[in-house]
Amino acid sequence: MADLITLDTYKLLEGINSTQFDEKLETLITSVSQLVRTYCNSQFDTYATAPGYTQEFDIQWDTYTVQLKYSPVISITNVYERSGQSSPYTELFSTNSSPVGYDWYLDTISDSVFRTQETGAYRSWPRGVGSVKVTYLAGYASIPDDLKLAVADTVTYYHKDEWKERQSIGSATREGAGASAIRNDPGFPDHIRRVLDMYRVS
C-alpha cells in the first residue's frame, strides 16, 4: 500500500530544503497515510487500477441493490450471481459491457449496483451466501491535491508535536468522553478535518 504523498511532495508543499529530518518524515508520512485511510474509511488509490477489488455479498432478503464498499467507482469489471453455494457463478452484463445486456445498472450517486430487467424494471438478486460478486475499480488514479495538502499538514502537525499542545488545551473538554467518541475523533485541527471529512465514507 503506497503512501498518500511522497517525501519530495511533502517538502515541496511545506517549503523544506533541509534533509535533517528526512528519516523521521518518511516514517510520519507512512503512519499518517494509514491514519487518514482509517479515518476516511477509504483506500483512495489502492483499487484504482487493475485488478481492482472483488466484493462478495451475502443476501438473505429480497433486494435489488448491493452497495459497493469503495468509492468513487471508476468502472465495473464483472458482475456475477449464483443461485446456491454449490452453483457456479453466472456473469451478468449491462449496456456498458461486452456483450451488451440489461442485467445490472450502476448508480453513480450511491455507488450501488441495481439488478435490472430489459424493460428497466428492478428484479431481486438471488438470496444466499456469496450470491453476488462484483469486481470493480474505485478511488483515484492520482491523489487529489486538497487531500495531499491535508496529509502534509497532518504530518507537520505530528512532526512539530502540535498534537501535544492541542491535547493539553482540549483536555478539559475531552475528559470523560466515551471510548467511541475518542476513537472516532483523532483530534485533527479544524482545517485538516474539513478536508478529510469531504472524503470520509460512513
Residues of the domain holding 169: 7-45+144-199
Residue 125, in any domain of the structure: yes
Mean pLDDT of the region 78-103: 95
| Whether residues 133 and 57 fall in one domain | yes
| Whether residues 26 and 78 fall in one domain | no
Percent of the chain at pLDDT > 90 equals 83
- Do 24 and 42 meet the contact criterion of CB atoms below 8 Å apart? no
Sign of the Cα torsion 156, 159, 161, 166 reads positive
| Whether residues 73 and 122 fall in one domain | yes
129 backbone dihedrals φ, ψ, rounded to 5°: -75, 125
Domain end position, chosen among 102, 122, 138: 138
Q: Give the 3-state secondary structure percentages of the chain, helix then strand then coil, rounded to 5.
A: 35, 20, 45
Task: Using the predicted structure, report yes or no on whether residue 41 has a pLDDT greater than 50.
Answer: yes
| Whether residues 99 and 64 fall in one domain | yes
| Distance separating alpha carbons of residues 107 and 148, to the nearest angstrom | 28
Model pLDDT, residue 98: 86
| Whether residues 87 and 67 fall in one domain | yes
Task: Using the predicted structure, report yes or no on whether residue 175 has a pLDDT greater than 70.
Answer: no
Q: How far is CA 65 from CA 58, 59, 73, 122, 199, in A?
A: 12, 10, 15, 9, 23
Residue 2, in any domain of the structure: no
For residue 71, what is its C-alpha cell?
468509492
How many domains are there within the chain?
Answer: 2
pTM value is 0.80
Mean pLDDT of the region 25-36: 97
The better pLDDT of the pair 80, 176 is held by: 80
Residue 111, in any domain of the structure: yes
